[in-house]
Structure 1
Amino acid sequence: MTPSRRGVLTGIGAAAVTPAGATTRGGNTEIGLALDAAMALPVDDALSRLAPFRLDDAGPGRRLDLQAARAGLAIDRALTAARGEATSFSLKLQRIVGNDATLDRVARDLGDAHRAATAAADHLFQRLGIAGRSSGARFEALWRDPHWLFADDDAGRASAVTAMRATLAAIRPRLPHLLGPLPPECLVVDVRALDAAEIAAGKGGYRILPSAGTRGLYIVDLKEVRRRPRFTLPSVVAHELLPGHMAQMPLEALARPHPLRLRYAAAFSEGWGIYAERLMAIDGLYTRPEDMLGHLHWMLFRIARGLADIAIHVRGIAPDQAEAAMRETLGEPAYFAPFAGDIARIVAEPATRAGEAWLPLRLDRTRPTSRAGWPAWHAGLLRHGRLRTDMIRSR
């Protein structure tokens, strides 16, 4: 099948594991049954079960399911024979992101992004007259400026919610020029703070996805509202609401990708949320230098934990050294991810943070140069549910 100029792909890595001469014809139902069966089979048997089906006989969503399953199962097979930390880590990246997410490429891109974001932050700090020996020290100073802090009371929390709603209102009219038309329910979204009962129950922030008849809602954790300066919240709105999770996740729910695609494109959802923050920066949402610094801090948080992921699992760097490097970059941890706890998660989940941090960089490079092509390209990314990066083409 010839790749579409509209940007939804037909499968690089998947094609590599499809035998020449595969001729079994089967529509969406037959392929779906084979995918269901493959979930319970050993890897080699699962690949054999899926190999005969022709991609051209499947609808767009089922084709993506089949491509992702073939690519991911092939990586699972390679992992059983992998030797060396670097090889294993690279395969784990490719398993959840895409076949093009090789270790060398991801490490290089994250390093470049770290330098670029740090330089951009340093420029803004100079503009604001905020000095410090490192970007982390400068972020710490910004975090302690009382001008940007909400009062630690109900009125302060209400002000934070009001600020987030104002950002959401500023984003909505931009969406047609970025994502194209969305289902109406994706736009019926709002934000509120955790209530007293939820706080007493130990809940963190969570979301209720919009659907027909159900308003989407992001319930934000403002228990320690003094740790959430005003300039950090615009990026949260872009990530958690629009054009982030409240656009991608409801569309994916409608598309109903197969569990094997969810497994082998696992980094896409969080990667899309991060990309949504970057997209709003490009579109000029963060007009104040402090808001842009809040955005850059979120970006550096994702990049720094991706680099820590590689440092610990490939370079042999001790977790406490990786934590020190994150502190040097960030100064302040992300609200929901204290440094020590985040490092513990990175240790327990190799390749996850690196994959999530790299995916938005990949989307940045692949996005059409002309803004006129953005709505159709983004719509193609979201229409049928998550994608592996080797299934994405520029327009």
Structure 2
Amino acid sequence: MTRRAVIIGGAVFALAARAEAAITLSAALDAAAAERDPAKALAMLDGFDPRDFPPVSALDLITARAGLAADIALASNPSFDLRLQRLIGTHRGAAAIERRLIREQQVATLAALRLFDTLGIGGATPGARFRRLWSELDGRFADSDAGRDAAIAAMNTTLDRLRAMLPALIGPVPGYCRDVVATRGSPEEQSSGKVGARRLPMPGRPGAYVVDLTRMADRPRCSLPSVVAHELLPGHMIQLPIEAAARPHKLRLSYAPGFAEGWSIHAERLVARAGAWADDPRAMLGYLHWRLFRITRARADIGIHVHGWSIDEARARLDEWQGVPAYFAPFETDLARIAAEPATRTAEMLFALAIEDGARGKRGAALIAFHQAILVDGRMRSDEIRRRA
């Protein structure tokens, strides 16, 4: 047997051994997911070394171990910080996070106030100015079939612009990820309320975002461009299909639940900073309103669960900071969810900030490489985002 044959044979054996190990790990992860005691579940993953597995399986193992360890700690101390650790990974604590959120809010608010001043839109608070912007009659689409069709057409025009930006910001993505549209949906979807939903693209099947246009007065033109970035490209329709192809274990989905939302929040900021709305100050204000919505709901999360804010107090602050609620999240409904799901909204914003921190200072090939690194294997916790940066 030649030396070349020996080398090839050894490589084939190694690949087969890794494949067999991955199957064994998958069975252990399945058993851990079925076990209700996190300590017993964690013990089932003893003896596995992430270095022995391909990246997707290694990430499954790392994420499951970290999440189960957090669940063990939570059982005896259900604190906000530990809930957040379960959802995102290592962090600096609620006090430091709140300071970061306040800084991010100040940056977004100052940018909005400058644009409001330029447009001559006044008001005593940022929220009051956003309410005035939302009330502009010439900033609305007609509350009719023709108006809804015009809104969809405008969103797809925006989508074409953002699709053209993908190579410079994200790099190569599967072709089917680009094959997406905004749509009103079928008459059946509209009549049954199945709107605000995604149809993820797959090989051979286009994707779509079915836009909820039920309340046209609450969907001003300025609010829609960032919806395209978030829901379509380069947001969910990039990250979620790539993740589906990677096939992460369900434990990874459970212990990094806010990554997908964090990616799409980052996507909104990414295209805004790349100049997508440079010629449209109202669209930029629409983006800043979405940004403030995500930041201030995280602040409300900390306020309610750490500082003991009442729902009424949180509502008053959102009125001042944000003015009008996000279309799908009326203040009362959203605050009730925040009260019932501690740390969830904070985790989503922290995922976005972790990705933004990883992208900071990167341009061109370096930015693309970072985005590719955090997309290719599916979602991950904040520790892994930092490692891949």
Please, what TM-score do these two structures have when normalized by structure 2?
A: 0.92
Hey, what does 1:110 align to over in structure 2? 101
Hey, what does 2:57 align to over in structure 1? 62
Name the amino acid aligned to 2:44: R
1:36 and 2:27 matched: no
Equivalent residues of 1:271, 1:359 under 8 A apart:
yes
* Structure 1 residues 157-197: Cα deviation after superposition (integer angstroms, max 9, x where no partner): 11101110011000111101111100010011011114443
Name the amino acid aligned to 1:171: L
1:292 and 2:284 matched: yes
1:100-139 matches, cutoff 5 A: 100=91, 102-139=93-130
Matches of 1:178 and 1:266, distance apart in 2? 24
**How many angstroms does 1:226 deviate by?**
2.2
List structure 1 runs of 4+ shifted beyond 6 angstroms: none
Q: Which deviates more, 189-198 or 218-227? A: 189-198
Matches of 1:92 and 1:103, distance apart in 2? 11
**How many angstroms does 1:368 deviate by?**
5.0
1:222 and 2:213 matched: yes
2:377 aligned to which of 379, 384, 389: 384
Equivalent residues of 2:184, 2:190 under 8 A apart:
no
The structure with higher relative contact order (CA 8 Å, sep 6+) is 1
Greater Rg, structure 1 or structure 2? Answer: 2
1:352 and 2:344 matched: yes
Name the amino acid aligned to 2:27: L
* Structure 1 residues 288-339: Cα deviation after superposition (integer angstroms, max 9, x where no partner): 1111100000010111111000100110110111011111111111111111
**How many angstroms does 1:129 deviate by?**
1.0
Matches of 1:54 and 1:350, distance apart in 2? 33
Equivalent residues of 1:26, 1:57 under 8 A apart:
no
Q: What SS does the corresponding residue of 2:208 show, helix, strand or coil?
A: strand
Hey, what does 1:337 align to over in structure 2? 329
Equivalent residues of 2:374, 2:388 under 8 A apart:
no
Hey, what does 2:80 align to over in structure 1? 89
Hey, what does 1:159 align to over in structure 2? 150
Matches of 1:370 and 1:388, distance apart in 2? 21
**How many angstroms does 1:124 deviate by?**
0.9
Matches of 2:82 and 2:272, distance apart in 1? 32
Hey, what does 1:74 align to over in structure 2? 69
Unaligned runs of 5+ in 1: 1-24
**How many angstroms does 1:26 deviate by?**
7.2
Matches of 1:345 and 1:327, distance apart in 2? 17
1:170 aligned to which of 130, 147, 161: 161
Hey, what does 1:246 align to over in structure 2? 237
Q: What SS does the corresponding residue of 1:27 show, helix, strand or coil?
A: helix
Q: Which deviates more, 272-281 or 96-105? A: 96-105
1:212 and 2:207 matched: no
Q: What is the percent sequence identity of the aligned residues?
A: 48
Matches of 2:121 and 2:250, distance apart in 1? 48
**How many angstroms does 1:101 deviate by?**
5.8
Hey, what does 1:318 align to over in structure 2? 310
- Alignment RMSD: 1.4
Q: Which has the higher helix share?
A: 2
Matches of 1:26 and 1:313, distance apart in 2? 45
Please, what TM-score do these two structures have when normalized by structure 1?
A: 0.90
**Alignment length (residue pairs):** 367
Unaligned runs of 5+ in 2: 1-18
Name the amino acid aligned to 1:59: P
